[in-house]
Structure 1
C-alpha cells in the first residue's frame, strides 16, 4: 500500500472539498477500492477510486444537463455501491444530497414525504427496481409526484463532458436528517469543510496507518455509517468492506468473520451490536473459536446510544479467546449536528468506568462511590474533546456553566459543528447559536444531552427531552429499560423500550 494511504502527506491536506478528495485519490490510488458484501460474506461487487470518480462524473453530467445544480436530491437506495456513486454524483454536480432509504408503501413513505417537503427536494434518484411502484407511491404521497425521478442506472455515457463547479469549503455537501424520534425530522446542513475536519478529528483519535482496514455494517444514510464507514476510508485511502445492516442483524457472525477475514483494524457500532454478539456467543463460535481471529481489531468504537460497562465486559470475556483485547474498545459520543464526532476514547487507551451514587444523580449531582455498593450506577467515559472542539456543561435553565460535580446540558463549539438546520432559521438560532448568560461566550450548539466532565473526560447521563421527573426525581429511560430487561430471563437484551 502506498504512502498516499495515510494522512501524513499533502494529498488530503490540500483538499478543500469532497470532490477534490475523490479526484486526488483516483489519481494517486486509482486501484484502491470499496468492496460490498451483500450477504455479509460474499464479495458481490467492488468499486475502485478510479471507477467511482468516472461514474460520479457521469451522474454529474446528467444532473448538470438538466440544470439541477443547487437543488436537493433524495437518494433512495439500499446499502450498496450504487448509493455511493450517486452520492458523489450529486457532489460533483453541486447538487445537495439527501441520503435516505428506499420508500415502502406501508412503512416509511410518510417520513420520506415529510423530508422531501422540508428539504424542498426537486430530484429523487433510486435504483430502477425501486421505481417500479412509483405510480403507487405518488398516489399515496401526491407531493412526490412533482419531483424529477431518475433511475440510478441511467446516467450519462460521456463523463468527459463534466464541468467542475466551484465548490467553497463551507458549501452544503448534504443534508443529514435527524431521526425525528422526539420531533419532526430536521435536515442538518453539513458542509464539505465539516466532513473533512471531522474525519481528521476521528483519525487523530483512532490513529489509522497504512495498514488500516475498515469494515462496517452501519446504515450508509446515517451519519456514523456514511462518514466513518464510507467517507473516512476514502479520506485515508484505506480498504473499505461494507455490508447491509440486515446481514448483521440476521447473522452477527458475518461481522466478526469479516473482521477476521480481512484483518480489519477499525470497525464498530452501537452498544446493542456488542450485546447481540455476546448473547449469541455459543451460536457464533460453537467449537470454532480458533477459526475466528480478532487480534487485528485495534479500534472497536461504541456509540450512538447509551454504553454499558456490562456489555464491554461480556464481549471482552466472550471474544478474548479469539484475540480481542479490551483496550480496543473506544466509547464515543457524537451527533449529526456536529457532523459526527464530539469525543472518543483514543486508540490504545483503556475505557474509564466511574461508579456514582444513583440517588445523587437523580438530583443532578455526581457523588463517586465504590462500585458494587448499593445504589451505585456505573458510567462509561466517552473520551476527551480535542482538536479545537470545546465542550461546556451548562444549566439548561440559567444558561450558566455548572459546577464540576453537577450534571448539565452538553454544549459544543468548534469547526466540527454543522451550519444549522435547513430552512429553519428559528430552530437553528435556538440550537446552534446559544450563548452563556453570565459570560456571553459562544456560540455553542445545544446538544439536548445531559452529562458532566471529570478530569476533562466527558460522561453522558441521558437526554434532556427524555428525562422523566417523578416527585422531584430525575429518572432516565435507559435506566428503567435496563432494570426491566434484567427482571426476567425471557426478555431479550437491547429490545426494551
Structure 2
C-alpha cells in the first residue's frame, strides 16, 4: 500500500481482510481518504495500487474501498477494528466514498454452465405420472411483436440485417460523417454500405486466400480512422467470414504511447492480416515507428483506399449464432490489455436491448461523439444503426481538440434529441467552453431539443463533472433531467443503460 499514500489516504488507517466468494478467499483493502483528495485523484491512485500489488506480491485484489476520514471503527486501543470493518462491508453499511472492484482480476474459478440434458419421451411420461400434471413456465419476451415478425428481430446475424435493409429500404441513410468544422462530409445509405462491404469482402478474400485452404473464421485486424470506412470494413470482414479485431489507429504525434498497444494486440489476437489505409500504413512503416514496431513482425498490411469493383460471390453463412462475431480488445482501468470474444448472439442481444431502451426506429437521429473501437462505443458506432435503421451523425472525438464546440453545434444544427458521448467530450466542453456560453448563445446554439444525453463509460459516474456540465450549459436550454450515464464492463458493456425519463429532476 506504499504507493504514494501521503496525499490520498492515512498510512495508519488501512485495514486488509478477506471474504469468501465462490469458495475461495478474496482480498479487500479499506482505507480512509484524506479530505484534500478529490474523487478523480483517489480513483487514479486506486488504479495504480492494483497493478502494484499484483507485480510486487503476486496477489490480485478483489476491491479497494475508501471511506471518509475518521469513519473506520476502532477498538479500545485505537487501532482499526478489522472484524467490525469486514462486517460492515458485508452488510453494506460501510458507506464508501470511492470504490474500485476488480472481480475479473482475481476470480479465476467461475462455475461452468450445466450441461444440457435432452428430455426424451420416456422421461416425459415418467414425469407426468409422478407429478400428475404438466407444469410449464415462460417469461415475457424482450422482443416486441413487430420487431420479431417484420423487423431485424427475425434474424440471427447482423450481416443478414444489413442485407435485408439493402433490399427493403435501400435509400434509408444510416450514417453521416461530420468534420471538425461541423460540415457533413459524407453520408451513406443501406444499399451503398452493403455494396461497399461486399467489395471489401471480395478484395480481402482475394488478398488473404493465396495458398491457404482454410481462412474462414481467421482473425483480421481493422486499423481504420474513425468514420464510415470503419463501419464498411467491419462488415466486409463479416461478409467474408473473418473475425474483425478493431484497433485504434496510431497518432503521428504520440507514437510511443500508441504503438506498444497496437503491437501487443496484434501478437495476442494472432491476426492473418491488417486492413488499413495508405496513410496509416505509412505511419506503421515509418522510421519513427521502427524502434517500437518491427515491420517484419507485422502481418501483411492491406490498404483499402482503392478497392476494385468486384462483387462477392456469396455472403459467408455462419454455422451457428454462438460463433465469434468480433473480438473486443481494450486496455482496462488497471492498465491490462484484454480481449473479449463477442458472439453473433451477443451482438444481436446488445443491439436489441439498445433499440428497446432508447426507442429507436428508422426516423430517429443520434449524434455520437465517443471512441468507436471497443465496448459500448463500438456497438453504438458500428452495429446499432444497422439493427435499428436510425440515422447516426458520427463525430471524431479528436476533432474536439480543434473545435471544442463541434459536438454541441451539431446537436443544435440538426435538432438532435438523443446523443451519446464520452467523458472526454464532457471534459473538453467544460474546460474550453465553460466561459463561452454567451458566445455560443449569440451563434444560435440551442440545446433545448436534447431529450437524453448518455455519457458512456466503464467507471463510476463522475458526479462533479456531470453537475458542472449541466450547470454551465443550462443557459443554452440543456435540461438537468437530460443527462444520464451508462455503465458496463469488459464482458458486458451494457450492464445499465437508462435514458433519462422526463419526470426525474437529475439522473446520474
Distance 1:22 1:147 in 2: 29
RMSD of aligned Cα (Å) = 2.6
Q: Any residues of structure 2 matched to 1:96-111 within 5 Å, and which? A: 96-103=243-250, 105-111=255-261
Distance 1:272 1:243 in 2: 13
Q: Any residues of structure 2 matched to 1:24-39 within 5 Å, and which? A: 24-33=164-173, 34-39=175-180
Q: Please say if residues 16 and 193 of structure 1, whose CA atoms lie closer than 8 Å, have aligned partners that are also in contact.
A: yes
1:345 is matched with 498
The gaps in structure 2 that reach 5 residues or longer are 1-145, 210-214
Q: Please say if residues 197 and 232 of structure 2, whose CA atoms lie closer than 8 Å, have aligned partners that are also in contact.
A: yes
Distance 1:120 1:229 in 2: 25
* 180 and 209 in structure 1: CA distance in 2 versus 1, 3 angstrom threshold: closer
Distance 2:377 2:179 in 1: 16
1:129 is matched with 279
Shift of 1:7: 5.0
Distance 1:167 1:289 in 2: 57
Q: Which of residues 428, 443, 446 is equivalent to 1:293? A: 446
Q: Which of residues 286, 293, 308 is equivalent to 2:462? A: 308
1:16 is matched with 156
Q: Please say if residues 177 and 186 of structure 2, whose CA atoms lie closer than 8 Å, have aligned partners that are also in contact.
A: yes
Q: Any residues of structure 2 matched to 1:70-89 within 5 Å, and which? A: 70-89=217-236
Q: Any residues of structure 2 matched to 1:189-200 within 5 Å, and which? A: 189-200=341-352
Distance 1:272 1:84 in 2: 22
Distance 2:315 2:363 in 1: 35
Tell me the SS of whatever aligns to 2:337.
coil
Q: Please say if residues 271 and 307 of structure 1, whose CA atoms lie closer than 8 Å, have aligned partners that are also in contact.
A: no
* 229 and 290 in structure 1: CA distance in 2 versus 1, 3 angstrom threshold: same
Q: Please say if residues 177 and 188 of structure 1, whose CA atoms lie closer than 8 Å, have aligned partners that are also in contact.
A: yes
Distance 2:149 2:413 in 1: 29
What is the CA deviation profile of residues 258-287 of structure 1, one whole-angstrom value per residue up to 9, with x for unaligned ones?
111112122122345334424423325426
Shift of 1:96: 0.7
Distance 1:263 1:16 in 2: 34
2:489 is matched with 335
2:201 is matched with 60
The gaps in structure 1 that reach 5 residues or longer are 1-5, 354-379, 382-497
Q: Which of residues 323, 326, 329 is equivalent to 2:477? A: 323
What is the CA deviation profile of residues 295-342 of structure 1, one whole-angstrom value per residue up to 9, with x for unaligned ones?
22212112313323333333333333333222222222112311x210
Q: TM-score, normalised by structure 1?
A: 0.64
Distance 1:168 1:154 in 2: 33
Distance 1:94 1:138 in 2: 32
Q: Any residues of structure 2 matched to 1:155-170 within 5 Å, and which? A: 155-170=307-322
Q: Please say if residues 422 and 456 of structure 2, whose CA atoms lie closer than 8 Å, have aligned partners that are also in contact.
A: yes
Distance 1:51 1:142 in 2: 37
Do structure 1's residue 203 and structure 2's residue 355 form an aligned pair? yes
Q: Highest CA radius of gyration, 1 or 2?
A: 2
Q: How many residues align?
A: 349
Of structures 1 and 2, the one with the larger relative CO (CA 8 A, separation 6+) is: 1
Q: TM-score, normalised by structure 2?
A: 0.63
1:281 is matched with 434
